[in-house]
Structure 1
């Protein structure tokens, strides 16, 4: 197992824990909105600097 695989697993676990925390606090909608906005921003920047 190389460092990239470990990093990928850690990021997935942290995202899952963040999702669980949002469910617990009742802020799922806000989290989903931020995730969608972040993905859209990332795609726009990728196209801009391609």
Structure 2
């Protein structure tokens, strides 16, 4: 039995998250807050990794 791999909910959700991130970047460029946005992303990733190591 083979399944067709068309548009799935997961792919759609992933695309929507990507689009939201892109729109946030565009908005940050318009408002001139790109540096803040990048800094928050870096801090968020570091925090996520730290918490991940604690619960492993």
> So what's the TM-score if we normalise by structure 2?
0.86
Q: How many residues align?
A: 50
Structure 2: stretches of 5+ with no match in the other structure: 1-6
Shift of 1:14: 0.1
Q: Which has the larger radius of gyration?
A: 2
Give the Cα–Cα distance (whole angstroms) in 1 for the partners of residues 51 and 14 of structure 2.
22
Structure 1: stretches of 5+ with no match in the other structure: none
Greater relative contact order (CA < 8 Å, ≥ 6 in sequence): 1
Structure 1 segments, 4+ long, off by >2 Å, are none
